[in-house]
């Protein structure tokens, strides 16, 4: 009995975080995404079955609770890729949860805000020990200069809108981060509904994301010192002709930022192919 009590006291003295280590494969979230998100016809955009997510909301809430249970001290002890995967998955998962609070009675995430309040400023969840909003995750953590310095996050952080880069039908993980970022970037840049060279007027029509977050591509993040350098690296995806590709590489094009489509990326409202 005495040895049992000693063993029990040792077990109870071990911090919960040591007993139940955080799942860096994000298995719960990965399973939900694989079940309820799918690539569109050309595999550049994805669609979300929010109605099915709503049926699986208990499972989603379990994952969100696991995210909320992570202490700042535990997070700070992780590698940078583990931290970044955590933050991106958290942003995307809490965005889905935000949509589900009113689904199906909304056409856009912007319907969850008003002229005086932003849906991205709603403090509706806890992360790293405090009440947070989505803007804090993206701008206060993911985009914080000098921390991750990764412009390609803009192609995996999803705002539940058609204009957004795709929500991947899998969780981001530290061990696959580089391949996932490269793949999402390639898919987004080849999507001519969001980014395309227009030969008639020698214009590069690109997503409004590059207007809003262009500075992230000018800070040396990812090895780019300008948007022109980034576009040049993806000229083969932006233009069909060799002439167009050479003009993009030379920076000899006008830049036009396209209107952003804030419509919900809901599979139930997916246009017929």
Strands 46-48 and 37-39: antiparallel
Q: Which of 161, 191, 221 is the last residue of a domain?
A: 191
* 84 and 203 housed in the same domain: no
* 207 and 131 housed in the same domain: no
pLDDT of residue 115: 77
Residue 177 lies in a domain: yes
* 247 and 220 housed in the same domain: yes
Dist. CA 20–CA 27, nearest whole Å: 14
* 186 and 228 housed in the same domain: no
* 182 and 200 housed in the same domain: no
Q: Residue 5: exposed, middle, or buried by beta-carbon count in 10 A (0-12, 13-18, 19+)?
A: exposed
Residue 78 lies in a domain: yes
Dist. CA 220–CA 194, nearest whole Å: 24
Please report, in tens digits, the pLDDT of each residue of the chain (273 residues total).
Answer: 544 444 444 444 444 444 479 999 999 999 999 999 999 999 999 999 999 999 999 999 999 999 999 999 999 999 999 999 999 999 999 999 999 999 999 999 999 998 788 999 999 999 999 999 999 999 999 999 999 999 999 999 999 999 999 999 999 999 999 999 999 999 999 999 999 999 999 999 999 999 999 999 988 888 899 999 999 999 999 999 999 999 999 999 999 999 999 999 999 998 864
* 78 and 100 housed in the same domain: yes
Residue 173 lies in a domain: yes
Residue 224 lies in a domain: yes
Residue 222 lies in a domain: yes
List the domain range (segments joined by +) for residue 73: 20-191
Looking at the structure of the chain, the number of domains it has is: 2
Q: Which of 191, 222, 250 is the last residue of a domain?
A: 191
Residue 209 lies in a domain: yes
Residue 6 lies in a domain: no
Q: Which of 166, 191, 216 is the last residue of a domain?
A: 191
* 141 and 229 housed in the same domain: no
pLDDT of residue 272: 65
Residue 145 lies in a domain: yes
* 102 and 219 housed in the same domain: no
* Contact yes or no for 77/15 (Cβ under 8 A): no
* 161 and 33 housed in the same domain: yes
């Amino acid at each position: 009995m005495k040895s049992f009590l000693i063993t029990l006291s040792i077990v109870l003295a071990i911090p919960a975080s040591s007993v139940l280590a955080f799942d860096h494969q994000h298995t719960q979230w990965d399973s939900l995404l694989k079940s309820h998100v799918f690539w569109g016809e050309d595999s550049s955009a994805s669609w979300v079955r929010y109605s099915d997510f709503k049926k699986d909301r208990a499972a989603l809430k379990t994952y969100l609770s696991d995210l909320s249970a992570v202490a700042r001290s535990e997070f700070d002890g992780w590698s940078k890729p583990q931290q970044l995967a955590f933050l991106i998955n958290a942003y995307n998962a809490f965005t889905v949860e935000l949509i589900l609070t009113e689904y199906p009675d909304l056409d856009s995430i912007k319907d969850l805000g008003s002229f005086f309040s932003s849906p991205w400023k709603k403090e509706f969840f806890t992360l790293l020990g405090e009440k947070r909003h989505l803007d804090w995750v993206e701008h206060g953590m993911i985009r914080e200069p000098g921390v991750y310095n990764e412009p390609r996050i803009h192609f995996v952080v999803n705002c539940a809108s058609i204009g957004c880069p795709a929500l991947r039908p899998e969780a981001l993980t530290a061990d696959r981060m580089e391949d996932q970022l490269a793949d999402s970037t390639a898919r987004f840049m080849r999507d001519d509904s969001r980014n395309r060279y227009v030969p008639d007027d020698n214009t590069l029509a690109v997503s409004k994301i590059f207007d809003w977050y262009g500075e992230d591509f000018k800070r040396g993040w990812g090895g780019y010192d300008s948007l022109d350098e980034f576009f040049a690296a993806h000229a083969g995806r932006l233009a069909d002709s060799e002439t167009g590709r050479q003009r993009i590489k030379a920076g000899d094009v006008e830049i036009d930022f396209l209107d952003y489509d804030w419509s919900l990326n809901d599979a139930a409202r997916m246009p017929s192919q």
